[in-house]
Amino acid sequence: MKIANIVGARPNLVKIAPLLREMRKHPGIQPVLIHTGQHYDEKLSDIFFRQMEIPEPDVNLEVGSGSHAWQTAEILKKIELVLLDQKPDCVLVVGDVNSTIATALAAAKLGIEIVHVEAGLRSFDRAMPEEINRILTDALADYLFVTEEDAIENLLREGRPREKIYFVGNVMIDALRQFLPIAQQSKVGQELNLVDHDGFLPFAVLTLHRPSNVDSPETLQRLLEAIRQVADELPVIFPVHPRTAQKIKQIGRLAHPQLRLIAPVGYLDFLCLLSRARLVLTDSGGIQEETTALGVPCLTLRENTERPITVTEGTNQLVGQNPETILDAARQILRGKTKSGRIPKLWDGHAAERIVTILLRDLK
């Protein structure tokens, strides 16, 4: 059985790692790894591949950056030729990036079965490009592997057959559970002066990259003003996404001795920071899940989330873009009034195993 596994951005690498590891345990599966090159940073990509024990891609399309339409079209053109050459029994796509929908569309046109890992997540906000990608990929997929039970209801509401939907858990948590012991040996805390003789000092982690938060100079400045006030209370470590760095330059750096802008870091270093943080502020989807699994308080700087279980069961709170709301929620956490959360059902480190078992059993 030949399975073409598609990645395009760094979060895809985290999700594909446990799946490839599980596939390699079965002689009956030939996994092929195709990197579209949608997001490519040579240094960081090399770190992710090495740290997560991912083999070098069999194919790299080297598409690069561009508008959503241009990037999706380029991937669609190039991936079709690869699929015609490779002749896989199915393509497996993860998440909701442009590589996900472009590959699903190419495979559907060629009559190749489509496996969507992380299906059914919905923010109900079509202003998010990822929401369009999620909806369309799920409409095309033959196997819909979901991380939470709300996703099942979303898919049924959209008319997807129940027999195509499988509740398997979360492959991102598989990766977290595998690599957390290694990550906690990272020296990133010492390098950032976050450690003394008693261990880690209190600190927060911030990530920002969504267009709704960083494209408007007024919105970005308002958010960073709120973060500056959080930094009055404890150091805030801010690995800056390249697109966010460009926007910050346009508004001028908001200097604060405890707001520490650093270059993006590898998976293990970042996982170490997440696991030790007193508080995380983010607009990322995956970090909402990781903080829930780690039991770390998370404030999501968005009005909605496609991962509602992190709010209803986990440690996540939606605080939007209002500085007063953000600051009040952060201060509550720092004063010990943290939200008690629990790890969702099937987030047990065995999602990849369930997915591969189902494919071996059911894939025609």
Which is the catalytic residue, given 35, 197, 209, 350? 209
Pair 289, 307: CB distance under 8 Å = yes
The closest of 242, 192, 226 to 321, measured between CA atoms, is 226
Intervals of CATH 3.40.50.2000 along the chain: 2-170+347-362, 179-334
Residue entry with tokens 């590891």: 21
pLDDT band at 340 (very low <50, low <70, confident <90, very high): confident
SS3 at position 32 = strand
pLDDT in tens, 73-108: 999 999 999 999 999 999 999 999 999 999 999 999
- Where is 299: in which H helix or E strand? strand 298-300
Write down the mean pLDDT value for the chain.
94
> What is the model's pTM?
0.95
pLDDT band at 160 (very low <50, low <70, confident <90, very high): very high
Pair 24, 357: CB distance under 8 Å = no
Q: Which CATH class name applies to 2-170+347-362?
A: alpha beta
What is the per-residue pLDDT for 167?
Answer: 98
CA angle 175, 193, 291 (to 5 degrees): 30
- For the chain, report the end-to-end CA distance as a whole number of angstroms: 9
Residue type, 157: R
In the CATH hierarchy, which fold is given to the domain comprising 179-334? Rossmann fold (3.40.50)
How distant, in Å, are the alpha carbons of 8, 13, 22, 231 from that of 37?
A: 6, 12, 24, 36
Q: Could you confirm whether 209 is annotated as catalytic?
A: yes
pLDDT in tens, 166-190: 999 999 999 999 999 999 999 999 9
Q: Measured between alpha carbons, how far is 287 from 279 in angstroms, rounded to an integer? A: 12
What is the per-residue pLDDT for 58?
Answer: 96
CA angle 147, 152, 153 (to 5 degrees): 135
